[in-house]
Amino acid sequence: MVEKNKEYVVQVISQGYEGEGIAKINESYPIFIEGALSGEVVRVKIIKVNKNFAYGKLMEIIEPSINRVEPICSIYKRCGGCKIQHISYKGQLDFKWGRVRECIERIAKLDKEIVKYPLGMTKPLMYRNKVQLPIGMFNGQLRIGFFVSRSHEIIDMEECFIQDDIANKIVKLTREWIKKFNISPCNVDGEYKSSGVIRHLMIRRGFKTGEVMVVLVTNKQELPYKNEFIKVITNSIPEVKSIIQNVNSKNTNVILGDKLITLWGNDTISDYIGEFKFNISPLSFFQVNPMQTEVLYSKALEYANLTGNETVFDAYCGTGTITLFLSKKAKKVYGVEIIPQAIDNANVNAKENNISNAKFFVGKSEEIIPDLINKGIKADVIVVDPPRKGCDISLLNAISKVAPKRIVYVSCDPSTLARDLKILDENGYKAIEVQPVDMFPQTAHIENVALISKIK
């Protein structure tokens, strides 16, 4: 057992799911060390002791890993957005590959060799097309940036290296506007103040169109000096096509409210994934890395192996992005999503792209899909793209009863993917291949797409 506040020299033997180093004083007691890398010898101070594990603070790197690099961002350690920026990009891909393989082997009880090496980016920086930044006053100083991990403190940010450079310019202009006209934030020293005006700044940019949307999230509908804000933004950033005010008066961690007011320009901006055009509103879900989204969806389409004669169900279809990709090779695609606004967007997107063989339904996939079956509609291929918690067990059981030839599973969490692959394996399906796609370089997150086939 280790002692709190005592220092130890340890060998880091592996990486945890969030990229933290793991060392062991003995064979059964792990120490989690943020910032340490596998293979390193480090000096660590124990800051928290639990019965089965401890947390340590990295004090000194005695023998560095060959994968260690100097982070380009000065605030990355506190920001929490780019937790593995200190790892070379090849090292990041190796880490993510190992994480997926470990989940497939340990949780799904499948051969880890089905996991292919991650598809990464040539330039793994400035890839985000959307950023949401809290605004607050701390010790009398204005801050626009990101929250410190597990707190309401905001780290002031001048430049973020994973978001579009235009977003950095808009942050600077917004900061100057707030200071010049003394616009009061709602976040004051980490506490919510209902008397404040401004809460968040959101920026979206179309990767292929270059169109930019600026959203000010406010506590109330009255927004002082809004014309001055419009003027400074539009005069400085010609790519801006939309400036919108979003009103959220609730004391909540949810960023956006329901009320939208277009202050200037269009209600939406547009962008493309592959050949398909999408109109994006402040409330629209749209993947934040459009370059890798195209890679991910192309792999999903490849796994679906459509000939033009198939009927496809797309569960958790969102705004219909994967559905449209599938529609160009399928006979008919049925998209199901529980959020009504997403289905509204999906129908608009289908119409915008002249897609006539896609039909969308609002509701739970585990309820809608069995109902479609009862009406005589049988799927040859089913695509699922669930949230982080994975598929509902009732949906997996419904899919097994449908008995499609193939299932394509798009996942944002290796653990829940592995859990669901195990359930499908027990229901007569075999995972043939899992392809990780690095949608979020500099972070520990990894997207996956899996090909699953019916055992004859």
User: Which residues fall within 8 angstroms of residue 150, CB to CB, at 6 or more apart?
Assistant: none
Which comes out higher in pLDDT, residue 262 or 152?
A: 262
Mean pLDDT of 265-273: 93
**Could you tell me the end-to-end alpha-carbon distance of the chain, in angstroms, rounded to an integer?**
52
Residue 414 pLDDT level (bands cut at 50, 70, 90): very high
Q: Which of 206, 124, 193, 218 is nearest to 167 (CA)?
A: 206
Mean pLDDT of 43-55: 93
Is the predicted pLDDT of residue 384 greater than 80, yes or no? yes
Please report where in the chains the tokens 């277009």 appear, as a residue. Answer: 262
Res 433: pLDDT: 98
Res 311: pLDDT: 95
Is the predicted pLDDT of residue 196 greater than 80, yes or no? yes
Res 327: pLDDT: 95
Query: Which tens digits make up the pLDDT trace of 61-113?
Result: 999 999 999 999 888 888 867 889 999 999 999 999 999 999 999 999 999 99
Residue 456 pLDDT level (bands cut at 50, 70, 90): confident
Catalytic pick from 79, 103, 160, 412? 412
Res 315: pLDDT: 93
Which comes out higher in pLDDT, residue 76 or 297?
A: 297
pTM of the full predicted structure? 0.90
Please report where in the chains the tokens 């003027």 appear, as a residue. Answer: 231
Res 319: pLDDT: 87
Res 285: pLDDT: 79
Mean pLDDT of all residues belonging to the chain? 93
Tally of CB atoms within 10 A around 301 = 20
3-state SS class at 269: strand
Tally of CB atoms within 10 A around 441 = 23
Active site residue 317: no
Share of the chain above pLDDT 90, in %: 77
